[in-house]
Amino acid sequence: MKNNFCVIMAGGIGSRFWPMSRTDYPKQFIDILGTGKSLIQQTYDRFKNIVPKENFLVVTNELYKKLVLEQLPDLIEEQVLLEPLRRNTAPCIEYANQIIQKKNTEANIIVTPADHLVLDTQSFEKTISLGLDFTSKHNALLTLGIHPSRPDTGYGYIQRETNNSFTQVEGLYKVKTFTEKPDLETAKFFIDSGEFSWNSGIFLWSLNSIQEAFKKYLPDVIQLFEEHKGNLGTNKEAQSISSIYSNCKNISIDYGIMEKSDNVFILESDFGWSDLGTWGSLYANSDKDKNQNVIDGKRVFLFDSKNNLVKMPDGKLVVAQGLDGYIVVESNDTLLICKQENEQDIKRYIADVKEQIGDDFSKLS
């Protein structure tokens, strides 16, 4: 267990959960599910039986240092890595690699987003333990794949090889192809073939395996960090990271490494997962009343209404009639009413509002 590390990526602004998620208080720090814990707190709890508390790292934006330390009191300042700019997941992961390398060269690492939902935590822990055992013994980059329940166009898909004779572990296969967010017909084909899983964005690998991959596929990224490695962990770290990020390209770990490597594996799993990327995903994973409405608010009254998500402050009285398939959310003195089928346009709505009234309205996004 002492070699197990967990890197929590927590730098996003969650604009698709507007108006609840804002630049100054994004969704990973919000109790969106009404459980009494924010998404990042749930993420930390998910791994604390597998990873010692001193082996957690949170990579986030400079804006969120205080929020991370408030919400995860087990961590100290040195465990919160601050990004001055958003450069996608590859630089974020390499930053964490460099810090881990100073602590433990035999590290076995989990990389996870801060804002995912896992319903079956016991099954999840078993899956993670199985994956860590595999990556500790093989030069492999492992991703968790989720059994798809529907032809969803909002997820990336991973195609596996047809047998797992190499691994001889149930559900563990070599990866054949990656496909980012296909159209509906392609997604249906993927589901019918039985060879594809959703890409969860949760990765496992040894420090040695991922650093070898960076050297091979993203040498310019790792070189930037190597040039400043002597300053990491010192009072010069912030200055060096600012320089690195200013010169580093914006690239995802999926595109930069996973899609190019020949030692990528998938561990297929089914533990009640969602990336909670949209209001629609929250609706799909929430309890519903007899009319298939999801209602969060003590004074919400719906009449002749079905298939809606309504999320209101407890003191707000809402009476609505004749709604079908709507998102109705009030937060931060802002009311959003939007058809669920059009929720992908929320970013455009925000941009239009900014153009009309400026960006100083409760920090729109």
pLDDT at 363: 57
Give the list of residues 6+ apart from residue 21 with CB closer than 8 angstroms, or none.
13, 14, 15, 27, 30
Tell me the C-alpha distance between 309 and 326, whole Å.
6
Q: Within its chain, how far is the Cα of 72 from the centroid?
A: 17
* Contact by Cβ (8 Å): 294, 286: yes
Sign of CA dihedral 263, 171, 278, 338: positive
All structural domains of the chain:
4-277 (3.90.550.10), 281-357 (no CATH)
**Token pair for residue 23?**
């630049």
In terms of C-beta density within 10 A (0-12 exposed, 13-18 middle, 19 or more buried), how is residue 284 classed?
middle
**Mean pLDDT by 10-residue block, N- to C-terminus, for the chain (365 residues)?**
96 88 92 92 96 98 96 97 95 98 97 94 94 95 92 88 72 91 90 91 97 98 95 93 96 95 93 88 92 96 98 94 97 92 88 81 53
Q: What is the DSSP letter of 201?
A: E
Question: Closest by alpha carbon to 19, among 322, 355, 326, 312?
Answer: 312
Altogether, the residues listed in the chain come to a count of: 365
**Token pair for residue 253?**
């770990």
Phi/psi of residue 80, nearest 5 degrees: -110, 110
